[in-house]
Amino acid sequence: MPASRVLPTEEAADLIGLVRDLVTKELAPRAAEAEATETFPRDVFRLLGRAGLLGLPYPEEYGGGAQPYEVYLQVLEEIGAAWSSVGVGVSVHALSCFGLATRGTEEQRQKFLPDMLGGDLLGAYCLSEPQAGSDPAAMSTRARRDGDDYVLDGAKAWTTHGGHADFYKVMARTSGEPGDRAGISCFLVPADAAGLTADAPEKKMGLTGSATATMRFDGVRVPAERRLGEEGEGLKIALAGLDSGRLGIAAVATGLAQGALDQAVAYAQERETFGRAIIDHQGLAFVLADMEAAVETARATYLAAARRKDQGLPFSTQASVAKLVATDNAMKVTTDAVQVLGGYGYTRDFPVERYMREAKVMQIFEGTNQIQRMVIGRALAKGAPATLHVTQQQETS
Partner 1 sequence: MNIVVCVKYVPDATADRKFEDDNTVDRVGVDGLLSELDEYAVEQALQIKDKQADDTEVTVLSVGPENATDAVRKALQMGADKGVHVVDDAIAGSDALATSLVLAEAIKKIPHDLVVCGMASTDGGMGVVPAMLSERLGVPGVTLGSEISVEGETVKIRRDGDASTDTIEGSLPLVLSVTDQSGEARYPSFKGIMAAKKKPVETWSLSDLGVDAGSVGAGAAWSVVESTDARPPRTAGEIVTDEDGSGAKALVDFLASKKFI
Ligand X SMILES: Cc1cc2nc3c(=O)[nH]c(=O)nc-3n(C[C@H](O)[C@H](O)[C@H](O)COP(=O)(O)OP(=O)(O)OC[C@H]3O[C@@H](n4cnc5c(N)ncnc54)[C@H](O)[C@@H]3O)c2cc1C
- Interaction partner, residue 141 (partner 1, ligand X, none; CB < 5-8 Å by kind): none
Of 65-94, binders to partner 1 (CB under 8 A) are: 65
Is 366 known to be catalytic?
yes
Of 198-227, binders to ligand X (CB under 6 A) are: 204, 207, 212
For every residue of 145-193, DSSP letters joined together read EETTEEEEEEEEEEEETTTT-SEEEEEEESSS-TT-GGGEEEEEEETT-
Query: In the complex, which residue's CB is closest to ligand X?
Result: 133
* Minimum CB–partner distance for residue 38 and ligand X (Å): 12
- 261, 295 in Cβ contact below 8 A? yes
d(CA 318, CA 302): 8
Which of 24, 105, 110, 134 touches ligand X (CB under 6 A)?
A: 134
Which of these segments, 49-57, 216-224, 227-235, 374-382, binds partner 1 (CB under 8 A)? Answer: 49-57
Determine the distance from the C-alpha atom of residue 273 to the mean position of all C-alpha atoms in its chain, rounded to a whole number: 40
d(CA 145, CA 125): 21
Contact call for residue 83 and ligand X (CB under 6 A):
no
* Active-site residue identified among 38, 61, 366, 395: 366
* Minimum CB–partner distance for residue 212 and ligand X (Å): 4
Site string (337-366) toward ligand X, x via CB under 6 A: ------------------------x--xxx
- 114, 252 in Cβ contact below 8 A? no
Which of these segments, 22-30, 68-76, 155-163, 179-187, binds ligand X (CB under 6 A)? Answer: 155-163
d(CA 113, CA 97): 7
Choose among 218, 309, 293: nearest CA to 258: 293
Which of 2, 52, 114, 223 touches partner 1 (CB under 8 A)?
A: 52
Residues 6+ apart with CB under 8 A from 336: 260, 264, 287, 290, 291
Contact call for residue 304 and partner 1 (CB under 8 A):
no
**Cβ distance to ligand X smaller for residue 55 or 367:** 367
Helical spans, DSSP H, in 311-383: 316-340, 342-345, 352-362, 369-382
Q: Using CB atoms within 10 A of its CB, is residue 380 exposed (0-12), middle (13-18) or buried (19+)?
A: exposed
Our separate counts of H helices and E strands in the chain read 12, 10
341-to-17, 260, 351, 393 alpha-carbon distances in Å: 30, 11, 10, 45
* Minimum CB–partner distance for residue 364 and ligand X (Å): 5
Bridge partners, 149 (sequence order): 146, 223
Contact call for residue 11 and partner 1 (CB under 8 A):
yes
Which of 133, 209, 229, 245 touches ligand X (CB under 6 A)?
A: 133
**Cβ distance to partner 1 smaller for residue 59 or 190:** 59
- Interaction partner, residue 332 (ligand X, partner 1, none; CB < 5-8 Å by kind): none
- Interaction partner, residue 374 (partner 1, ligand X, none; CB < 5-8 Å by kind): ligand X
d(CA 140, CA 295): 39
Residues that bind ligand X (CB under 6 A): 92, 125-128, 133-134, 158-160, 204, 207, 212, 361, 364-368, 370-371, 374
Residues forming the site for partner 1 (CB under 8 A): 10-11, 14-15, 18, 21-22, 47, 50-53, 56, 65, 397
Residues taking part in catalysis: 366
